[in-house]
Structure 1
Amino acid sequence: MVEETKKKYSRDYLTWTDEMDKVLLDVFVEHHNRGDQGQNGWKPHVYTAAIKAIRDKCGLHVTKENMSRMKTFDKHYATISKILSQSGFGWDWVNNKLLMDSDDVWNKYVQANPKAACYKNKEVKNWEAICTIYSKDHPTGEGAMTGAETEAQPPEPDVVAIKDSSKMPQKRQRTCDAILCMLGDMKCSFQDALKSLEPLELPKVTPPLEILAALEKIPELARSDMLRAYGKLILSERLFHALMELPMDFRKEWLLTLNEKNNI
């Protein structure tokens, strides 16, 4: 009886490697981009795809229960994104860890947020993929945790238990809304900047030949008066439009008045 009880609650352990993490996140990024994440969490086929990818690419058999690894990434995002929102912090894309202006900046932050202390030199790989999948706004539905509650919990270790799903109750899935992460925001900002650099449409300019042809149509307009008016109209699109709005029998008198007024 004792042996049977021990067997029932025995568990093996799975160690997550960098390769497995990348394969797992690649699958979730792909399905995130397809819109397979909604208010009720990830669609079931996403977990199936992740399990198959790890089996095919890493040669390991995992179950849906092992997908709790995604909670670790969620906690990383909740903590690190909060830090990056503060002045004096950045992200080192080469070494996969936080950058800070000074130890004083870090010490002041940790004093107010002691649970983040372990992240000072912590290496978090695949940050770009994590940013794509998660957002700073955490769900509020049943079983969900706030950002503060998530941050307060320590990150799960890289070793997780493989449980017999037939004997253990299923864990409730957290809900999550897929919105633009910081990289998406950067992309939109870059596109907006490009739009601001697009050349403005130039105003229409009437060709000189068209102006000359219009003047030649005015009855009894002397050659000297025509040349004076031409010199004025090619410099002002507004004056030419004003001329063309007048009836034909008004145009000569108006041009002569314009010439006299400007002493041309």
Structure 2
Amino acid sequence: MDDALLEVLVEHHNKGDHAQNGWKPHVYTHAIRNVKDKCNKDITKDNISGRMRTLDHHYEVVSKILSQSGFGWDWTNNRLSMDSDDVWDKYVEESKEIKSYKTKVIKNWESICIIYSKDHANGEGAKTCAEIAAEPLEEPIEVSPEVAPKRQRTGDAILCMLGDMKKDLVDAFKTTEPIPLPKVTTPAEILDALRLIPDLAEEDMLRCYGKLVLNDRLFQALKELPITMRKTWLLMLP
């Protein structure tokens, strides 16, 4: 179910469809419809918000672990990898609350990184790994087919309806809209994408960074490749 949900959220994240406290109303509508079509499950906006809080926790904890020496990401088994058990034991001495993450399987890690990599504070407002791991996590969405889905609150329903109306109105006037300027990829986005590539040495990362910031088309081509092929492709560039 996460596959269908994150597919929609990544799409709308790239379109900038964020609201102050989450997503624009039509994003929830699209996600609910996609999960229903692909998984035959009825979910609500509350289900989506709860699941996103859980994934947010996972990103906060795991990204901080990955920033430490000796840790990496196992793309095959969707979990943390580490140089040795000693590396993990030493790390959890200061953050014992995150012990479960040693073997926790987190699928769709690349999509989670895309959605959350820009959303976390780096200053005084940022939480520690211990604080994040100590908070209760919601379980994945499971809606019994025998139980009727929770009725959407009137306010939420109106917001969703207004979001759809706005989208329809925008589509109707597209022919009169000025041609939008192409989106320019920021250096921070390029650096985030390079950091996701397994086993890419720092020297190679800097060399590739220098090429990609000068050629946005190369960066777009990189994003279309599977994560396991990106390192080889980058190192083949002249």
Q: Which has the larger radius of gyration?
A: 1
Mapping of residues 150-169 of structure 1, within 5 Å: 150-158=132-140, 163-166=150-153
Paired with 1:51 and 1:71, the residues of 2 have a C-alpha distance of 17
2:35 equivalent to 1:49: no
2:187 equivalent to 1:182: no
Q: Is the Cα–Cα contact under 8 Å of residues 51 and 141 in structure 2 kept in the other structure?
A: no
Paired with 2:21 and 2:117, the residues of 1 have a C-alpha distance of 15
Q: Is the Cα–Cα contact under 8 Å of residues 97 and 123 in structure 1 kept in the other structure?
A: yes
Q: Secondary structure at the match of 2:16?
A: coil
Paired with 1:62 and 1:196, the residues of 2 have a C-alpha distance of 41
Query: Which residue pairs with 2:2 in the alignment?
Result: 21
Q: Tell me by how many angstroms 1:39 deviates.
A: 4.4
Q: Tell me by how many angstroms 1:38 deviates.
A: 4.9
Which amino acid counterpart does residue 97 of structure 2 have in structure 1? K
Which amino acid counterpart does residue 147 of structure 1 have in structure 2? K
Query: Structure 2 vs 1, CA of residues 66 and 194 (structure 1 numbering), >3 Å: closer, same or farther?
Result: same
Q: Tell me by how many angstroms 1:121 deviates.
A: 0.9
Q: Return the match for 1:95 from 52, 60, 77.
A: 77
Paired with 2:142 and 2:127, the residues of 1 have a C-alpha distance of 23
Q: Return the match for 1:106 from 88, 102, 106.
A: 88
**What's the CA shift string for 1:92-148, capped at 9, x where partnerless?**
0111111111111101111111121001011111000000000275269xxxx8433
Count residues in correspondence. Answer: 166
Paired with 1:186 and 1:60, the residues of 2 have a C-alpha distance of 32
Query: Which residue pairs with 1:147 in the alignment?
Result: 127
Q: Is the Cα–Cα contact under 8 Å of residues 88 and 100 in structure 1 kept in the other structure?
A: yes
Query: Which residue pairs with 1:233 in the alignment?
Result: none
Paired with 2:21 and 2:214, the residues of 1 have a C-alpha distance of 41
Query: Which residue pairs with 2:61 in the alignment?
Result: 79
Structure 1: gaps (5+ residues): 1-19, 170-178, 199-264
Structure 1 length as normaliser, TM-score?
Answer: 0.54
Q: Secondary structure at the match of 1:99?
A: strand
Query: Structure 2 vs 1, CA of residues 84 and 185 (structure 1 numbering), >3 Å: closer, same or farther?
Result: closer
Identity of aligned residues (%): 50
Query: Which residue pairs with 1:134 in the alignment?
Result: 116
Query: Which residue pairs with 2:211 in the alignment?
Result: 194
Pairwise CA RMSD: 3.5
Structure 2: gaps (5+ residues): 144-148, 157-187, 198-204, 216-238
Q: Is the Cα–Cα contact under 8 Å of residues 138 and 147 in structure 1 kept in the other structure?
A: no
Query: Structure 2 vs 1, CA of residues 41 and 151 (structure 1 numbering), >3 Å: closer, same or farther?
Result: same
Q: Secondary structure at the match of 1:112?
A: coil
Structure 2 length as normaliser, TM-score?
Answer: 0.59
Paired with 1:100 and 1:26, the residues of 2 have a C-alpha distance of 29
Q: Secondary structure at the match of 2:80?
A: strand
2:16 equivalent to 1:35: yes
